[in-house]
Structure 1
Amino acid sequence: DYVLQIGKTPIVVNDKRGFYTSRVFTTYIMEGMAMLGEGVHPRSIEVAGLKAGMPMPPLALQDEVSLSLSLYIAETTKKDLAAEGITLPVHPGFAVVQKVGGELKRIGKKANQGFYDYAGKDKSLWPGLLEVFPPQADQPSQQEIVDRLLYAQANEAARCYEEKVVRSVADTNIGSIFGWGFAPNQGGALQFINAVGPKKFVERARELAKAHGSRFEPAAIVVKMAQEGGRFEDVV
């Protein structure tokens, strides 16, 4: 009731680490940083983020959030999970956060230096990125980068729905658009999977997993849909 009174659109999520929006949002910026660490040109990453339909590119968004906050969250999560006997899977993007935010102390917009340099309202990619993370001669296509950014998010959103972190398809889609700005033209993270088609989504996700790591392995719920010819549909 309170959320409606202040003019916001509420969704109800269950209590799991990262909840929903923070958990999936992180996959977007981490994938961008993983590609930077692999030698993908930072400008190509940022252009692909906008081409994917996201309101901000991943490296710029990480600067807004601040690298120091990301380092703190990662270390705290690692300790909390260790206390539970769980080992936190290491995302390849984390090494980039440690390098830029930890070692180089470029913690983001609040310090006027992160992946970007800031001068008042103006900002530009930090030239030093090309020295710290030299671009490889063989660069991926823009579509490959776009796919990695979108599939990472959509797949994690499907896992959240599968784990009942979110309670409905509508909440999952609405939360993805209003919560962190998932490509609004796609109609939401689960609707993106519907549009691609679960079968094609699983095929492409497995291609990405083979090329870039197990984080792209398709969520079990999508694999089941692909086998049975189903799709994400909200139950009223």
Structure 2
Amino acid sequence: MRAVFERMRAPSLFKHSILLIPVVVCTALFILQPELGRSPDLLTEYISNFVHYDLDRFLGNVLAYLIFSYLSFNLLVKLGQERLFWVSFAVFFILIPPTVTLVKLETIGFSGIVSALVGLYAFSVALNLYQKSKGCKFSFFFVFLLGVSVVAFTYGGYVIRILVSILTVIAFFYVFQNLKPKSSDIMILLLFLAPYLMAIVGLFPVSIVTDGGFINIWAHYAGIFLGYWIPLVLWYLFTRRPIKNLKMSLS
């Protein structure tokens, strides 16, 4: 019986240990403190996405990475989408660093990939809501717009705030019309959404200027946008479900 348990447990431990590889890389680079130079090549530009010179930023990024990588992994596994997680995870580490390097002002730090994993977790919550709401496509818009609303109320003017709020409420209405949840289901959904919304607040603070410089706000925008929509596109390609006419969802 113990041998059976060990065989079942080993693959899970191995898969979880793969998620620690970026942490090991970040830790090694933090200890080594490499000098990147003023005119880095492509490899150096890529490595710069794992480099930290500040202890607080290093610990914050690593902790956020661990939280959202493991939350995303476990939720997608429970939803039967483990392959989707690993493909998305691989795509992130191929695509996010060069993309973030192009859009951010400061070429140091892990926050772009962390933002992508926050986006992946948000997609996982949206997919869970999609399944529980009997395939309501508005689930994906609702979760995404919820994050956009937080950013809009932080940086946007009154018109943007009102517009995004209206769109979020509309999406909310159609999701819960299909969901018809119990009070316990609503509490579970709020628990799922809480880490996502807290991360959005942390990634997009009121002031982007810190004692040690400034926050790579454009890296966060790029990371969370790609982190949400890349797995959504991959999920559609994997499942190959035809997108139903939105009028069917509205009826």
Q: Which has the higher helix share?
A: 2
Smaller-chain TM-score range?
Answer: under 0.3
Give the structure-2-normalised TM-score: 0.25
Larger radius of gyration: 2
